[in-house]
């Protein structure tokens, strides 16, 4: 059963943990999480007491100002960051799309990059071979697939990244602001694929500043500010929120 359950999750970025011979630099705060401590022991509270549950078929839109903790939350869900406190329980095969350039090799061709990405996601060679043509067709990159990745435009890179990440039917798909680069026709296509994915009882979590995108893709919306949940709509049936 595909599910995500977060219980009072917090995450702290420590800024001066590294041992260094140089004088500590002064980091200046902007919007976003709270900067606490001083001197060598500064830290940013990027997530604070985050609790929510998602079930199969849920499509959650994450919104909030810059630095609210959206990317951080996605990385906690993916397992890149171990939370500083609280519990994360995830059932299901997770795939994620962060920065579109992450995990791609600039010198390698699109085709080779598909193979590498597949291997990284734990696919077998047979699975990659089987999906290769679908991925290329879906990305509509045509002959560009045999050109090095560095020759791609942002939107072309986004097409490739999305096609690969959704090719093996992930049960949980996490996406961070990726879609802006794709053109209208590709966004439409991507939306249809996400619909399919959610219908197969998957979970989608999408962080975006585009209200329209969230409206059209998501069934739930969570607003984060300063690392805390400000609102979650529709409200969960059982009210389990304890922190005020």
Partner 1 sequence: MIAALNGAFDDISKAMKLHRVWVALAHEDIGDQHRRTTLGPLWLLVNYIAFVGTFVFVFQPAGKDAAGYAAYVAIGLLVWFYLMEVMSMSVALFQREESFIEGTTLPLFVYVMRLALQSVIRAGYAIVGCVVILLFSGSHLGMPWLWSLAGLFLILFTTPPLITVFAFLGAFFPDSQFIVGNLLRVGMFFTPVFWMNKGQDPVQKYAYEWNPFTYFLEIVRLPIINGEFPAHAFIVTIIAALATWAIALLLLGRYRKQVVFLI
Ligand X SMILES: Nc1ncnc2c1ncn2[C@@H]1O[C@H](COP(=O)(O)OP(=O)(O)OP(=O)(O)O)[C@@H](O)[C@H]1O
Interacting residues with partner 1 (CB under 8 A): 13-14, 17-22, 75, 78-82, 96, 98-99, 101-103, 105, 107-108, 112, 115-116, 119-120, 122, 125
- Contact between 223 and Mg ion (CB under 5 A)? no
Instruction: Kindly state whether residue 61 participates in binding ligand X, applying the rule CB under 6 A.
Output: no
Task: Find, among 188, 173, 223, the residue nearest to 64 by Cα.
Answer: 223
What are the Cα distances from residue 40, in Å, to 15, 22, 48, 230?
8, 11, 22, 31
Per-residue DSSP letter, 109: B
- Contacted by 59, from partner 1, Mg ion, ligand X, none: CB < 5 to 8 Å by type: none
Name which of partner 1, Mg ion, ligand X, none residue 208 binds, using a CB cut-off of 5 to 8 Å depending on partner kind: none
Phi, psi (rounded to 5 degrees) for 88: -120, 125
Out of ligand X, partner 1, Mg ion, none, what residue 108 binds, judged by CB under 5 to 8 A for its kind, is partner 1
The binder of 46, among Mg ion, partner 1, ligand X, none, by C-beta within 5 to 8 A per type, is ligand X
> How far, in Å, CA of 140 to CA of 186, rounded?
9
Q: Does the protein bind ligand X through residue 9 (CB under 6 A)? A: no
Backbone angles phi, psi at 181, to 5 degrees: -75, -25
Three-state DSSP at 3 gives strand
**Are 62 and 96 spatial neighbours (Cβ–Cβ below 8 Å)?**
no
Residue choice 3, 8, 71, 216 for contact with Mg ion (CB under 5 A): 71
- Which residues sit at the interface with ligand X, rule CB under 6 A? 13, 32-33, 44, 46, 64, 66-72
């Amino acid at each position: 059963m595909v599910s995500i359950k977060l219980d009072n999750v917090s995450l702290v970025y420590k800024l001066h943990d590294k041992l260094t011979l140089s004088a500590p630099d002064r980091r200046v705060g902007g919007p976003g999480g709270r900067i606490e401590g001083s001197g060598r022991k500064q830290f940013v509270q990027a997530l604070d007491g985050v609790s929510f549950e998602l079930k199969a078929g849920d499509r959650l839109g994450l919104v909030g100002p810059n630095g609210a903790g959206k990317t951080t939350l996605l990385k906690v869900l993916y397992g890149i960051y171990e939370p500083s406190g609280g519990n994360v329980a995830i059932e299901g095969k997770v795939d994620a799309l962060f920065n579109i350039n992450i995990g791609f090799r600039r010198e390698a061709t699109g085709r080779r990059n598909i193979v590498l990405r597949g291997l990284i996601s734990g696919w077998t060679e047979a699975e990659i071979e089987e999906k290769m043509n679908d991925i290329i067709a879906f990305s509509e990159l045509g002959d560009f697939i045999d050109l090095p990745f560095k020759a791609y435009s942002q939107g072309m890179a986004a097409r490739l990244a999305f096609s690969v990440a959704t090719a093996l039917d992930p049960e949980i798909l996490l996406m961070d602001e990726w879609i802006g680069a794709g053109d209208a026709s590709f966004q439409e296509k991507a939306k249809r694929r996400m619909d399919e994915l959610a219908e197969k009882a998957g979970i989608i979590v999408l962080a975006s500043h585009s209200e329209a995108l969230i409206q059209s893709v998501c069934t739930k919306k969570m607003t984060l500010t300063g690392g805390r949940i400000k609102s979650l709509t529709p409200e969960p049936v059982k009210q389990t929120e304890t922190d005020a």
